[in-house]
Chain A
Amino acid sequence: MKLNTYTLRQTIRKLKQKEFSHSELYKDIHGIIAEKNETLNIYLCLDAEAVKKAERNLDKPLAGVPIAIKDNFLTKDLATTASARLLEGFHAPYESTVTHNLHQSGGVIVGKTNMDAWAHGSSTETSDFGPSKNPRNPSYLPGGSSGGSAAAVAADMCVAAIGSETAGSIRQPSSWCGVVGIKPTYGRVSRYGVVAMGSSLDSPGPIGKTVFDCSLLLNSIAGYDQSDATTSDRPVPDFTHDLDRGVKGMKIGLCYVDHPKLKGTPASEAVEKAAKLLEGFGAEVNRVPIAEEVRPDTILTPDYAVGVYTVIQRSEVSSNLARYDGIRYGHDRSYFSEEAKRRMMLGTFTLSTGHADQYYVRAEKVRSLIIQNFRQLFARYDVLISPTSSGYAQKLGASRDNPMFGEIEDMLMEPSSISGLSGVSVPCFHDPVTNLYLGLNIVADQWQEEKALRAAYTFEQHTDWNLWASKERDNG
């Protein structure tokens, strides 16, 4: 068995028990990268010193395992471009808190992964360095914006990865690539040193092979950071601790499966089956009807969240990307590609005199209504479940000429993201013909990641959609 195919939990144990060495592990990791990276276009750069760094970390919790990092995290040892030509040649003078925390825990960066440029998109097709391809089937997209990180995990080109989500950018590519991704509560993980996109939304998080792996990685990166005033100082639990407590008595709301865009689709059917399975393990599942207004027993149609997200995200983008003046670092503004220009410009419009009340202020008010709706729902339910994406990965080229591709792709995650909630996506179906996956989105209230992870772990342990988890269960 190739050593790059083990889970994070297995790899750490096997390294610590000296079943294999770092040099043997990194030989297999670099082997698969050499074999596949040219066609899949996943890594933008690699750290040639990775194995040397790994050997110094055996005694730390992550034991020197190779981690893939989305290219919007500033790293001192490797270039950071956010997949944008404007930042080509930029060398970060400081380290992001997430990668700093990973180094402290003994994680080693194997390389930086491709993404939608500036994280604008859900396909990696807006990357200035070309799209990545889905390792499950290279005619298809990996999703995005953290598409490179999800694809690196799916292709066993790393043991685990880090992505970031504004609304769907961890969970949607995880769903499309058949891997697990956690979008933590906003403020759980520091944004310091992450190329800023939507500052009231951006949430860094782990992408991995199993729910346990992602929980372990979240332990390493979560927590208060003096350099990010929006992080919370509440204590960080051990996210792996309660995973096997089961779902007996857990109240689950089944959401969005009757939405006109989803009703009767494979994604909805897979999630209905998942709900039945969790019910069989003692959870109490109720269908939450979709409504056009806020009521305590219904969920607002996600169409409102699409509008809110589009306005807030464009507005925050226009503000954040104003910093790229070509004076202090990076090239000048003529280097922006089309997607970034469109988003900055629309944000400039929605914040402009005469239109700010109509768009930005209105969106921030509807955001309050959506939050109010979730408060009511979480008074009744522990977690809410839905499909992660409305379907399987789409073909290469699907995002072209569609200015709303990402917003429609991520419509099921936008409501929870603009409310700052936590969520996890786990594989819940596999099509043997295309080799593509569907994802189950499990959303918990702010600071309640453990509930979502417990439901996700229970599902993973009692199904065989996740081959890494099945193998680990069988072989230890």
Chain B
Amino acid sequence: MKAVTISPHEVGHIASLTKVPLASEEEQRFAKAFNVTLAVVDKLFSIDISSVAETHQVTGLTNVFQEDEIDSGRMLTQEEALANAPRSHNGFFVVDQVIEQK
């Protein structure tokens, strides 16, 4: 498989997906850093994986369930849940408007 490189323009797109603000000077610098990293990762293309399954977790545990019941010992009160919020109002988190008005 052909090695991939990332351009400064693509870095800008990835930053918007990641929701982090990035200066144009950073786009240049990050593109360089990403390509250094991807060059190391390219090693993964030199081994045969055609008959291998993926490993997402190593615990060997399957289907870990617990009873669907309220455990007040593991709950935060409304006051505790809001205590760290920069903005709250009448017991709610205040968020910026995300739907545009017509």
A318 in contact (CB, < 8 A): yes
Within 8 A of A (CB), among B18-33: 18-22, 26, 30, 33
Instruction: Bits for A335-363, please: 1 = Cβ < 8 Å to B, else 0.
Output: 01010011011101100100100110111
Complex Cα distance, B87 from A51, in Å, reads 37
From A34-42, A143-151, A223-231, A435-443, the one touching the partner chain is A223-231
B70 in contact (CB, < 8 A): no
A403 close to B37 (CB less than 8 A): yes
B85 in contact (CB, < 8 A): yes
> Contact partner of B57 among A200, A292, A328, CB < 8 A?
A200
- Residues of the B chain whose Cβ atoms lie less than 8 Å from the Cβ of A70: none
A20 in contact (CB, < 8 A): no
Instruction: Bits for A306-331, please: 1 = Cβ < 8 Å to B, else 0.
Output: 11101100000010001000111111
Complex Cα distance, B43 from A170, in Å, reads 26
A461 in contact (CB, < 8 A): no
B18 close to A348 (CB less than 8 A): yes
- Residues of the B chain whose Cβ atoms lie less than 8 Å from the Cβ of A265: none
> Contact partner of B30 among A293, A308, A328, A342, CB < 8 A?
A342
A345 close to B15 (CB less than 8 A): yes
B56 in contact (CB, < 8 A): yes
- Residues of the B chain whose Cβ atoms lie less than 8 Å from the Cβ of A336: 20
- Residues of the B chain whose Cβ atoms lie less than 8 Å from the Cβ of A342: 30, 33-34
With A333-B21, A341-B18, A345-B14 as given contacts, are A363 and B52 in contact (CB-CB < 8 Å)? no
- Residues of the B chain whose Cβ atoms lie less than 8 Å from the Cβ of A341: 15, 18, 20, 22, 26, 30
Instruction: Bits for B64-93, please: 1 = Cβ < 8 Å to A, else 0.
Output: 101000000010100011011111000001
From A211-219, A275-283, A366-374, the one touching the partner chain is A366-374
A75 in contact (CB, < 8 A): no
Shortest CB-to-CB span from A436 to chain B, Å, is: 27
Instruction: Bits for A266-297, please: 1 = Cβ < 8 Å to B, else 0.
Output: 00000000000000000000000000110000
A365 close to B40 (CB less than 8 A): no
A230 close to B17 (CB less than 8 A): no
Nearest B residue to A94, CB-CB: B76
A404 close to B43 (CB less than 8 A): no
A364 in contact (CB, < 8 A): yes
B49 close to A348 (CB less than 8 A): no
- Residues of the B chain whose Cβ atoms lie less than 8 Å from the Cβ of A330: 84
Nearest A residue to B84, CB-CB: A329
Shortest CB-to-CB span from B44 to chain A, Å, is: 4
B85 close to A328 (CB less than 8 A): yes
B97 in contact (CB, < 8 A): no
The residue among A227, A310, A349, A361 with the most chain B CB atoms within 10 A of its own CB is A349
A93 close to B81 (CB less than 8 A): yes
Complex Cα distance, B36 from A190, in Å, reads 34
Complex Cα distance, B15 from A348, in Å, reads 9
With A226-B66, A368-B55, A371-B58 as given contacts, are A358 and B1 in contact (CB-CB < 8 Å)? yes
Nearest B residue to A87, CB-CB: B84
> Contact partner of A365 among B22, B53, B87, CB < 8 A?
B53
A73 in contact (CB, < 8 A): no
A310 close to B37 (CB less than 8 A): yes
A345 close to B18 (CB less than 8 A): yes
Complex Cα distance, B83 from A330, in Å, reads 11
A101 in contact (CB, < 8 A): no
With A326-B86, A349-B14, A403-B36 as given contacts, are A368 and B61 in contact (CB-CB < 8 Å)? no
With A310-B37, A355-B4, A403-B37 as given contacts, are A420 and B54 in contact (CB-CB < 8 Å)? no
Nearest B residue to A321, CB-CB: B18
B59 close to A230 (CB less than 8 A): yes
- Residues of the A chain whose Cβ atoms lie less than 8 Å from the Cβ of B99: none
A365 close to B49 (CB less than 8 A): yes
A333 close to B20 (CB less than 8 A): yes
Nearest B residue to A363, CB-CB: B44
A310 close to B41 (CB less than 8 A): yes
Complex Cα distance, B84 from A304, in Å, reads 42
With A91-B83, A345-B18 as given contacts, are A306 and B64 in contact (CB-CB < 8 Å)? no
B54 close to A361 (CB less than 8 A): yes
> Contact partner of B52 among A200, A322, A348, A369, CB < 8 A?
A369
Complex Cα distance, B43 from A338, in Å, reads 25
Complex Cα distance, B47 from A306, in Å, reads 14
- Residues of the B chain whose Cβ atoms lie less than 8 Å from the Cβ of A427: none
- Residues of the A chain whose Cβ atoms lie less than 8 Å from the Cβ of B20: 333-334, 336, 341, 344-345
A128 in contact (CB, < 8 A): no
Nearest B residue to A303, CB-CB: B43
- Residues of the A chain whose Cβ atoms lie less than 8 Å from the Cβ of B30: 341-342, 345
Given pairs A328-B81, A345-B30, A348-B18, 15 additional interface contacts (CB within 8 A): A187-B58, A292-B47, A307-B43, A327-B93, A328-B84, A341-B20, A344-B18, A344-B20, A345-B18, A349-B6, A359-B44, A362-B45, A364-B54, A366-B44, A367-B54
The 3 closest A-B pairs by CB, nearest first: A420-B58, A329-B84, A364-B54
Can you report 24 A-B residue pairs in the complex whose CB atoms are below 8 A from each other? A90-B84, A93-B76, A93-B80, A307-B41, A307-B44, A310-B40, A311-B41, A322-B19, A326-B86, A328-B84, A328-B85, A341-B18, A344-B18, A345-B30, A345-B34, A348-B18, A358-B4, A359-B44, A364-B56, A366-B47, A369-B49, A371-B58, A404-B36, A420-B58
